[in-house]
Amino acid sequence: MDLKVLKYEIQESVAIITLNNPPVNALDVPCFDDLKKIIYNLQNNKTARAAMIASECPGFFSAGDDLNSLKEIDEELVKRQPEVHKLFNDFESLPIPTLSTINGHCLGGGLELALLCDFRFMTKGSGRIGLPEVRLGMIPAFGGTQRLWPIVGKAKAIEMMYKGLQLLPEEALAVGLVNRVVEEEKLFEESFDYCVRLARQATGAIAKIKQCLNVGIQKGFEVGMKMEQKTFLDNIFSEDAKEGVNAFLEGRKPVFKGSSSNKEQST
């Protein structure tokens, strides 16, 4: 895979995506091009059963969009927004558990990228996290207005975006924006180990749960309930569901293969 500013590898069934666009991991066109290639690989690669986004830039997960590109607004910049929306939607919809390992400042588009993940771990005392676009007279443009409030609640999301608040890691933990605050030297190890454990779970069932959650948030309770009924009927006959029940009845640990439906058994 020909990548310019991102790195990508799979270890122990965990796909590791590393931001490597110094000095602040700005989200620019080469970054989006690389992410598109990686998403395509993950959509067609059954080896990876979990994924994590990390950073090699000290003190920064990502400071967001490249501000230099905003000096002059042209048609290409306007055209890029819906393309990034689709790219981010595709990542959020990946049928595997995902985690952002945040080693410093995570602002604007950087937080919007982290919000795509199911989990967020952040380094203790190393940076701030938020959507400060309003301080530049702008609004979040990569999905932040829609993805922040289901996580922290509408009232807190409004406060964060109206004021451009940048939270400390402990503050982010208190409102549920991050799941865990970790010492710097342990961040990558704890994040990777967590992903390894997730990869050993019934990732097919996790994919169905994730699908139901996203549909419910995006389209409402009734549509989410219908999706739950549909995915349950499909998933209950899967190989992993049978393995889980049999393992429980036999008093042993289940060995899941990541199957999500009965259709996979006939292919």
Of 144, 141, 145, the closest CA to residue 73 belongs to 141
Return the domain boundaries, the chain. Answer: 6-199, 203-266
As a dihedral over the C-alpha atoms of residue 231, residue 112, residue 150, residue 259, rounded to 10 degrees, the angle is: 20
Query: Taking all residues of the chain, what is their mean pLDDT, rounded to a whole number?
Result: 92
Confidence at residue 262, expressed as pLDDT on a 0 to 100 scale: 58
Give one word for 15, left, alpha or beta, with left for phi > 0 and alpha for psi -120 to 50.
beta
What's the rounded mean pLDDT across residues 236-264?
Answer: 88
CB-based contact 101:50 (threshold 8 Å): no
Q: What is the pLDDT of residues 165-217, one digit of tens each?
A: 999 999 999 999 999 999 999 999 999 999 999 999 999 999 999 999 999 99
pLDDT category of residue 153 using cuts at 50, 70 and 90: very high
Q: What is the pLDDT of residues 118-151, one digit of tens each?
A: 999 999 988 999 999 999 999 999 999 999 999 9
Percent of the chain residues topping a pLDDT of 90: 85
What's the rounded mean pLDDT across residues 224-238?
Answer: 94
The CATH code belonging to domain 203-266 is 1.10.12.10
**Do the domains 6-199 and 203-266 sit in the same CATH topology, yes or no?**
no
Q: Is the pLDDT of residue 266 over 70?
A: no
pLDDT category of residue 99 using cuts at 50, 70 and 90: very high
Confidence at residue 65, expressed as pLDDT on a 0 to 100 scale: 74
pLDDT category of residue 265 using cuts at 50, 70 and 90: very low
* More confident site: 247 or 265: 247
* CATH classification number, 6-199, choose in 3.40.50.1100, 3.90.226.10, 3.40.50.300, 3.40.640.10: 3.90.226.10
